[in-house]
Amino acid sequence: MKKVLAILGIALVMTGCSLGNMDNTPTKKVEAYLNDYQTLNSNVLTEIDALVANEEMFDEDQQTTYRDIMKKHYQDLTYTIKEETVNGDKATVEAEIEVNDYTKALTQAETYRTTNESEFLDDEGIFDETLFNTYKLDLLKDNKERVKYTIYFSLTKTNDEWVLDDLTETEQEKILGIYEY
């Protein structure tokens, strides 16, 4: 019996060691990256705060609404890893993501604005950006449309560690749900 337990113990230790290395694969790195969005880790929250801070057209209440919309957007992100290709110290991981289709909502808002501009005029008949932004944020908040995108994540192996390369603007837009397809 002791011999069987000893063999099982060795097997568990060996499995534990190999599991640690299994996290250092291109696929695992992409999964970790996308999971960070879903779980709103501190880096993602910092990214959201920076994104909101850059939206100078929003007042304080609108910034809070926008922050909440982005948090929900990232938490709702789903993905499927399709394929991993490794070529030496370079790798590509194909992933299909599904996100809220904010492109459609933003296009709808702009169309509505041009055909109903009088709804966004202040008391003096001047276009009020704040009114329009509130309308736009309400559309984003109520959006139920989803869209699927394929992203090819590039990774480079540096010092025996797979590192995700910087995302292109298109890849970032896909994750944000604002890629114009």
Domain boundaries, the chain: 21-176
Report how far residue 5's alpha carbon sits from residue 43's, in angstroms, rounded to the nearest whole number.
Answer: 43
Alpha-carbon separation of residue 68 from 22, 61, 72, 83 (angstroms): 35, 11, 6, 33
CA–CA dist 48, 40 (Å, integer)? 9
> Tokens 């910092």 belong to which residue?
46
Q: What is the pLDDT of residues 27-74, one digit of tens each?
A: 999 999 999 999 999 999 998 999 888 888 899 999 999 999 999 999
CA 40/CA 120 separation, integer angstroms: 34
DSSP state letter for 86: E
Cβ atoms < 10 Å from Cβ of 9 = 10
Residue 101: the pLDDT is 97
Its pTM stands at: 0.82
pLDDT at 11 over 50: no
156: its two tokens: 């480079």
Which one-letter DSSP state was computed for residue 105? H
**Per-residue model confidence (pLDDT) at position 135:** 97
Looking at domain 21-176, its CATH architecture is Roll (3.10)
* Residue 22: predicted pLDDT: 73
pLDDT bracket for residue 181 (50, 70, 90)? confident
What are the tens digits of pLDDT across the range 74-123?
999 999 999 999 999 999 999 999 999 999 999 999 999 999 999 999 99
- CA–CA separation, 4 and 61 (whole Å): 64
The CA-based angle 32-170-143, given to 5 degrees, is 80
What does the pLDDT read at residue 21?
64
The predicted model gives 154-178 an average pLDDT of 96
State residue 94 phi and psi, 5-degree precision: -90, 125
Q: Does the structure show a pLDDT above 60 at 3?
A: no
